[in-house]
């Protein structure tokens, strides 16, 4: 059973829902569809199995759908909070492997190249 627009509405005030979707349930459904695809990709990336009946994944999808709606409305502060909430839930479900794409959400990660050097054989004998 997929997550419904009615479930999404339970997590947001009716005023905010109307502002973010223009009262159009199709907009909310598209945000849910995108959120499900995102969650499936993250769980698969972490070598897990997506189970739409799992309550942690369901809430992660709802939070991600809210992120999609707030982001589209260019309310980045609230959108970022929803994105962090959804990632936190996915980490609880799959561990840190959901961040295996090379970034960690909400943190600045400095990527440094690994040091390289030449290795030459030792010419002295150890006794």
In a domain? residue 115: no
Is this model's pTM higher than 0.85 or not?
no
The domain tally of the chain equals 1
**What is d(CA 12, CA 10) in angstroms, rounded to the nearest whole number?**
6
Domain extent at residue 45: 5-95
pLDDT number for residue 83: 92
In a domain? residue 106: no
pLDDT number for residue 121: 59
**What is d(CA 12, CA 109) in angstroms, rounded to the nearest whole number?**
32
pLDDT number for residue 117: 53
Chunked mean pLDDT (size 10), the chain, 127 residues: 90 93 94 94 84 89 94 89 90 76 45 49 59
pLDDT number for residue 113: 46
């Amino acid at each position: 059973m997929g997550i419904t627009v009615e479930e999404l509405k339970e997590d947001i005030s009716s005023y905010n829902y109307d502002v973010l979707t223009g009262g159009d349930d199709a907009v909310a459904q598209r945000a849910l569809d995108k959120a499900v695809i995102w969650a499936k990709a993250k769980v698969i990336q972490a070598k897990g199995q997506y189970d739409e009946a799992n309550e942690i994944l369901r809430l992660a999808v709802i939070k991600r759908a809210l992120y999609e709606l707030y982001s589209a409305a260019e309310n980045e502060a609230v959108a970022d909070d929803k994105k962090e909430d959804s990632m936190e839930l996915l980490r609880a479900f799959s561990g840190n492997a959901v961040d295996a794409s090379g970034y960690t959400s909400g943190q600045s990660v400095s990527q440094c190249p690994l040091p390289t050097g030449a290795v030459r054989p030792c010419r002295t004998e150890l006794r």
